[in-house]
Structure 1
Amino acid sequence: MVKIEPFAVEAWMDAHETKCEYNIAETCCASISLDQLQQLSEDKERPLIDTANILNYGDIRGSDALRQNLSRLYSAKGNFLSPQNILTTAGAIQANYLVAYSLVGPGDHVICHYPTYQSLYEVPKQLGAKVDLWHTRAEDDWAPKIDDLKSLIKPNTKLIILNNPQNPTGAIIKKPLLQQIVDVASEHNIVLFGDEVYRPLFHSINPMDSEFPPSLLSMGYKKTIVTGSMSKAYSLAGVRVGWIASRDPELIETIAEARHYTTISVSQLDEQVAAYALHPNTVHSLLARNIQLAQKNLELMERFMIKNEDECSWVKPLAGTTAFVKISRDGKPVDSVDFCQQLLEKTGVLWVPGSTCFGDEFKGYVRIGYVNHTEIIKEGLDKATKFIRKHLDNVKLAE
């Protein structure tokens, strides 16, 4: 029997997210309705759904319309990616699972960028691989060190896993370091796998910046796989559409074979909505809406951090939807679970405890999702400030 560790962050959200008043743990940009999506389109008369379409299994590997639109997004600056090199999945969580399920097993070694979403390192473990975590630290602005990566390489290393932008910190692996990582993977002929689910939500670094990170698919290394989703940057978690893309047809075919055991096809209705959202008539205004929302709400986060500078510290995120904030009392980290439980009980504000959901080493840390609707973020942060000033002395310290 496979040993499955509890999925801590999902268990926390499952237990609390429908019972809170202010969800500031949510990692998606504020979700939108189908009506709102249509209003964002330049062609508002174009129907979202083809109601005459027969609801059979549809295109097994993903609809032509959706894969064409994804191909366009990955083919910037003439670096064409064929739609045939894209597979759709039921969300990025299935995409990530399939990459590991297809490529690693007992006797293999995997290196995973850390901290990150638990499934990225737990699933390879469940499949029998040995996993080493490539640690990042706040004092380094959560940037991984290339020498640490080199020291982790083994003869049986099959996969290097990156999360860029990073959950929970909002940090990015900048282009120069990304190139060094590609060079290491290429030297050792290791598959490089990038979870890019928060891409392209870059709100605090300009695309013209020389350090702006391109997708891994644009870095010139063939043995690269990326995953993405409609959930985070595109505000459509409810359609449950993700994808896997690679410039290596052999990798795509290997994953496609494994995919048959988990997915016949993705819902036609979901794929039609996703294709509509990623169409050139819609995607630019949708992303502009979400980047503006992130920038506006990040200003609220910055004010919160200034108000609570004696108790809270962080590395300001450059991308994505989350911030990783350390909370201390008299210079000592609080018990993040006790803090989050009391915060929820007394104010209705939901945060995620870092020590439980991202690793014991993150004592005092909480993950805050700040790209929900602005009024929720503002009111929730105001209540959190009042809680810190009134109740922090009653919160346990981390052991």
Structure 2
Amino acid sequence: MWTTALQLFSFSLLACFFLLANYEETQKIATVMLLCTLLMIAAVYGSVKYVMGAHYSFAEYFETDQFLFIGLSNCHLTVERSPPPGNCPYHVIYQTSTYETSPPCSLAKLHVLLADKELPQALILAPSFDGYVVAKLNHLHWPEEGASQFAFRSTLIDLKDPSPVGSKIDYQDLLFTLFDNDSRLLYLVLNSTSSQRRSVSCYIFYADLSKTQISFLYIGQMPVHPENDFRVLWSEDPYERKFYYGVKQDEELGLYSVPFNELLSVLSTGSPGTLELLFHDDRAYFSVTHDVVLSYMSSSSRIVYFTLHLKKKNSNGIVCELPSKKSKLSSSVSLSLLFDSHYCALRNKETSLENCSLVLSNMALKTFVLILVIRIRRRKKTSMDETFARAESPHIHTYPAFVAETSDF
């Protein structure tokens, strides 16, 4: 990322040597030295502005352009490819400007289903017309690039003829849901109404994909330890095979991870997960995919999206800020990512991930060249009016992010 900065600084230094070599008079040397100093300051300033400014891209941050944003908002499934350099995802605009209040889709929950020999799909949980938990698989559609330079596609979610989940489980009792792609286990954690005092239970179902329509086989039920009452914003990372949750501590929010195979132990005993990150301000939402944390915080006048890679310690994250007339986003809003082989599978409609892996291996050199092109293109100033002709997306900014207990954001 600092390559261009070094090039600019080196160029200014060579220019100074050239000027000094052609001016031997003492009275002119001082003037030339002053010009050299101003030139190098300008180069450093421009380089820093370049590195931290409007031409940084998500593709460069993720070190791949093989990724998709997958979202749920306003009763629509949304899919977006890598945004143009210097721009936030169109999801930031879309999710901030839309708000759906009518059930059942406004209460829907999204899980991305990644199964062998199946294209990536969206598992939508929603209340039936009589208020019980139902589910429906929805296709993810490849987004084509439009006139705005954003490759974004929005599709109304399909809840026609859904599959029941369990025997008449009240949707309003749900606290959170989790899906384990490895074992295809769906966890429903809800307030239990089987006793007079409040208790929390976890219902476990196996998602059967062997038929044309998904069905759910009841596995069992277990009580949930009260310690989990303080754990919020649960989500899953199918790539790293971990669940995540948050714990609020005064004005901070701790992000904890739990391996897939340790979830039942954590839920039943209340044992803690592993602290991965400490936000120094509250978050209204977060998800983790392939170690990438997507989160947002909101106030009465703005909504701020954050992107951070857990494995990039002492690196910069990305922040997207947008004014908003709403104090918060819809509770059904969610956002996650697809990477690499699953990106390839959806693009090519190829169900064999092995074939996609071979394609990606063959494209390694092309991807490397593309990243070089992105870096070169970043040097070219793009007109804001031209870039935002349709999307009106805010520029991205970077911020220091230290992935540890002393994280500084």
Do the structures match in fold with TM over 0.5?
Answer: no
Whichever of the two has the greater Rg, that structure is 2
The structure where helix makes up a greater share of residues is 1
The structure where strand makes up a greater share of residues is 2
Q: Which has the higher contact order (CA 8 A, sep 6+)?
A: 1
TM-score (normalised: structure 1): 0.25
